[in-house]
Amino acid sequence: MALLPILEYPSPRLRIRAQPVAEVTAAVRRLIDDMFETMYAAPGIGLSASQVDVHRRIIVVDVSPEHDAPHAFVNPEIEVLGGVQEREEGCLSVPGFQETVRRAERIRVTALGRDGEPFTLEAEGLLSVCIQHECDHLEGKLFVDYLSSLKRGRIRKKLAKQRREEAASA
Ligand code: NI
CA gap 44, 4 in Å, rounded: 13
How far is the centre of ligand 1, averaged over its atoms, from the C-alpha of 35 (Å)? Answer: 13
- Residue 161: pLDDT above 90? yes
- At 74, the pLDDT band (50, 70, 90 cuts) reads very high
Distance CA 93, CA 50 (A): 10
Ligand 1 centroid–CA 114 distance in Å is 21
Cα(137) to ligand 1 centroid in Å equals: 7
pLDDT band at 1 (very low <50, low <70, confident <90, very high): confident
Phi-psi region of 116 (alpha: psi -120 to 50; beta: other; left: phi over 0): left
- pLDDT, residue 153, reads 96
- pTM (2 d.p.): 0.96
The residues carrying an active-site annotation are 134
Whole-number Å distance, alpha carbon 58 to ligand 1 midpoint, is: 13
